[in-house]
Structure 1
């Protein structure tokens, strides 16, 4: 998120306090404070960990209630559709999905400007997102991996289709031209995709002022825990389901699965209190960033829905292309056969491999991906230098030294490498393109590092088993 001016931010927090948003247990239903934060949380800037976020205003205990946002302060479809004109128009387009309606509602509310009740909140939303739907052809191809390219194409196509379907409604509402554009649609849908929180009465979710200032922390360890439960559930389906007890194996495992999922969130709507409640997911010292887990996401999913990725994501996975016969020779679903972020194959992938062998000549090679790790690391360093270029002369010098993929970037963005000519300054559009290019290279680099780790893991395992076998032979 973009850093706001202190005066503007203080005004927003004062507005939030008027709505009853509070990080103090004592102030929630009593006298409203001047601003909604300061007792448990404080807005801070974390340059290496998500930018603007929420820090601990004091030492916090794990599980402690740290923020409450009353239902009346949640921006939902219901609250926006209280506008008679908007509600009447939306009722004539029931073919649109709830998410499409919410997207139109958000754009309509943005069009009100300062006349909107939600203006203090809306003006603090990011002006842009680097989600996959915003990727250009060059940026899409920079991902290199077929699955990632396909996911990007699907995201772009979905955004364009939903925008076209909703255009008639937006025209009826007489939205301003800039709000009718595909770019505006992607911004609004990205806001909903990346910032809404789950509520039980609306599948779209809600936008939560102040509550969406938390930066993301990936749940640690849950990925393999849930995989173990899924493995048990899959295995149990192969067994006799007649049990002497009153509970089936599946129902018990589902309970365990649900228990795992309960640990993946750090907040929720409390109907008894009538507010969205947030809890500390860990013990925090004063000044430390307080993080929120949105759930388990791979880096590609984070890039698709949120526009960022994590250097160390315990929930990341790598799906490698397998021979069709491998899928047909076992009953494991495709999505369960992957490599963990630490390089270890999933249980399902190992099981499938045990049931399938193939001659060397028929194996599909993916080894070439691992060999380009060093090149991608150097490319990231170059991109950082371009982003940090202090003046036009330094920038021009860097661009003149670029080769291969970097040259393709220059061509895709109509940048010239010649040393003579006018002063070279990167436009805002080009800077955003560089940021998306960097995200693509970062994603594929992490993908390749997982492959390298997997190769190392398998090699070590093979060497260990070979040594054990050799020792056994010698003792005979």
Structure 2
């Protein structure tokens, strides 16, 4: 702990030397030590129930007040890393594009034609840049920052076979498989470049690649001159805060048919895609704006997204994500996520009966069906020759008839119940398992607590995955590092599937209330 404290102090001193600083305090507050970049508005603190290590307020902060500045010279970008001529030359020779598109990176930047590189290649280059700087060790200009990056992550691409199956839901399993395959494919694509750069063996492994890719996915911030984004020392210590419930004007966007839909694809590419805050922002932009790069001060500036009291954790909104998307890109999920949603299997005729996009047909985190899902079901339950005449009522959110509403409500309740029934474990079983994971001091205690549980088959699968199936007495057993990481991800999987099931259960309760209202 003492060594960790000293390392943190050294890192904050290094950051201060680069010009990184939180905002100046009010005149009646003392100035922070010039040997640290923090102390006026923020401090590094531990928040065990809300993200772990993060940034806390050292004084009361006003909403919209600037709380941190990170100059451009401190940002780690492709442009800044590729000032290294060896790296620059190697990248230019290993472009995966056609010969007509292969140009020296610097020339491309100067010509403003960086779009010639595909987005996937851009990200691959940034990952290589990170590993390249890691390989430099203490000679890297970002060494103090790199030493403070997490040693491991829990993004879906790092899930093993057991943790992937523990998610249980086909959609989540498929997203995980896709993330794993994507990481492997990009690693193979970059191997020739990394070998040409004579990476040390430990930086050529798939494990190292996935770690670097996870760092880029979970920690990069948006910058206007590079689609890949940047790594921002100190600025990436902010933990996540969800945008909150959709306001009425935002909900209105959901009511548009798919051919008129509005969305921002940047919100689903991973990384912390935040934009510059301002006093004049409207209620819509406020949801996604906490900071950004400001040309006039040549720095990344962060603003308080709410009023904070001294000691509060100061949070940052990266964008609107479901819990599955948070797991995929960042490796965590929220206990209460107002932007979470659940998709249920729908009959093909439901999709064909409406112009709503498939992405808009879901159940909200509170169990209520989305506007689009209700509209699609109402149209689907209407005879085809009558749909055109009632379309205007459906699109205004009106019920068509009592019989129509009762039919779709019963169908929705039955579908949710079927999905729950077909999953390997129940809500109660998952709750007991999760409680055991939280309350156990050691693995022996965990095994003792779970003895009477019906989820023992899943536990034995975990033991088998880590060659522990023949152990009969777990007293004094210390899990290997790999097993501990697996158990942490297992816990995340159980948390996710439990949230998923509770949404379905809440939807059934919602449907019962609707049906009861017709009986009365």
Q: TM-score, normalised by structure 2?
A: 0.80
Give me the whole-angstrom Cα distance separating, in 1, the residues matched to 2:254 and 2:22: 38
Q: Tell me, yes or no, if structure 1 residue 278 matches structure 2 residue 330.
A: no
Query: CA 1:316–1:361 in structure 2 vs 1: closer, same or farther (change >3 Å)?
Result: closer
Select between 73-82 and 454-463 the one with higher mean Cα deviation.
Answer: 454-463
Give me the whole-angstrom Cα distance separating, in 2, the residues matched to 1:258 and 1:3: 46
The residue matched to 2:355 in structure 1 has which SS?
Answer: coil
Task: Give 1:368 deviation, angstroms.
Answer: 1.1
Q: Tell me, yes or no, if structure 1 residue 35 matches structure 2 residue 88.
A: no
Other-structure match for 2:142: 118
Other-structure match for 1:383: 437
Give me the whole-angstrom Cα distance separating, in 2, the residues matched to 1:396 and 1:205: 44
Task: Give 1:465 deviation, angstroms.
Answer: 2.8
Q: Please say if residues 317 and 341 of structure 1, whose CA atoms lie closer than 8 Å, have aligned partners that are also in contact.
A: yes
1:438-453 matched pairs, under 5 angstroms: 438-453=491-506
Select between 267-276 and 355-364 the one with higher mean Cα deviation.
Answer: 355-364
Other-structure match for 2:77: 76
Task: Give 1:47 deviation, angstroms.
Answer: 1.1
Counterpart among 118, 121, 132 of residue 108 in structure 1: 132
Counterpart among 336, 339, 344 of residue 360 in structure 2: 336
Task: Give 1:394 deviation, angstroms.
Answer: 4.5
Give me the whole-angstrom Cα distance separating, in 2, the residues matched to 1:166 and 1:45: 37
Q: Please say if residues 170 and 180 of structure 1, whose CA atoms lie closer than 8 Å, have aligned partners that are also in contact.
A: yes
Other-structure match for 1:247: none
Other-structure match for 1:472: none
Query: CA 1:372–1:115 in structure 2 vs 1: closer, same or farther (change >3 Å)?
Result: same
Counterpart among 446, 459, 469 of residue 406 in structure 1: 459
Query: CA 1:127–1:217 in structure 2 vs 1: closer, same or farther (change >3 Å)?
Result: same
Q: Please say if residues 396 and 419 of structure 1, whose CA atoms lie closer than 8 Å, have aligned partners that are also in contact.
A: no
Task: Give 1:378 deviation, angstroms.
Answer: 0.8
Other-structure match for 1:471: none
Query: CA 1:177–1:345 in structure 2 vs 1: closer, same or farther (change >3 Å)?
Result: same
Q: Tell me, yes or no, if structure 1 residue 288 matches structure 2 residue 312.
A: yes
Task: Give 1:5 deviation, angstroms.
Answer: 1.4
Indicate the RMSD between aligned Cα atoms, in angstroms. Answer: 2.8
Give me the whole-angstrom Cα distance separating, in 2, the residues matched to 1:287 and 1:361: 49
Task: Give 1:393 deviation, angstroms.
Answer: 5.6
Query: CA 1:329–1:421 in structure 2 vs 1: closer, same or farther (change >3 Å)?
Result: closer
1:248-263 matched pairs, under 5 angstroms: 260-263=284-287
Other-structure match for 1:63: 64
1:130-141 matched pairs, under 5 angstroms: 130-141=154-165
Cα displacement string for residues 247-291 of structure 1 (whole angstroms, at most 9, x for unaligned residues): xxxxxxxxxx99624531211111111111100011011011101
Q: TM-score, normalised by structure 1?
A: 0.87
Query: CA 1:212–1:361 in structure 2 vs 1: closer, same or farther (change >3 Å)?
Result: closer
Give me the whole-angstrom Cα distance separating, in 1, the residues matched to 2:206 and 2:86: 23
Counterpart among 188, 202, 207 of residue 164 in structure 1: 188
Cα displacement string for residues 310-353 of structure 1 (whole angstroms, at most 9, x for unaligned residues): 00001100011111111111111000000110111101000011
Unaligned ranges ≥5, structure 2? 97-119, 262-280, 382-406
The residue matched to 1:366 in structure 2 has which SS?
Answer: helix
Other-structure match for 1:231: 255
Query: CA 1:236–1:156 in structure 2 vs 1: closer, same or farther (change >3 Å)?
Result: closer
Q: Tell me, yes or no, if structure 1 residue 21 matches structure 2 residue 45.
A: no
Query: CA 1:108–1:236 in structure 2 vs 1: closer, same or farther (change >3 Å)?
Result: closer
Give me the whole-angstrom Cα distance separating, in 1, the residues matched to 2:283 and 2:433: 43
Task: Give 1:464 deviation, angstroms.
Answer: 1.1
Counterpart among 510, 513, 516 of residue 457 in structure 1: 510
Task: Give 1:231 deviation, angstroms.
Answer: 1.5
The residue matched to 1:281 in structure 2 has which SS?
Answer: coil
Give me the whole-angstrom Cα distance separating, in 2, the residues matched to 1:302 and 1:260: 22
The residue matched to 1:222 in structure 2 has which SS?
Answer: coil
Other-structure match for 1:305: 329
Task: Give 1:421 deviation, angstroms.
Answer: 9.1
Other-structure match for 2:11: 12
Give me the whole-angstrom Cα distance separating, in 2, the residues matched to 1:210 and 1:187: 19
Query: CA 1:111–1:236 in structure 2 vs 1: closer, same or farther (change >3 Å)?
Result: closer
Cα displacement string for residues 32-72 of structure 1 (whole angstroms, at most 9, x for unaligned residues): 92211000111111111111111001000011111111111
Unaligned ranges ≥5, structure 1? 238-256, 468-476
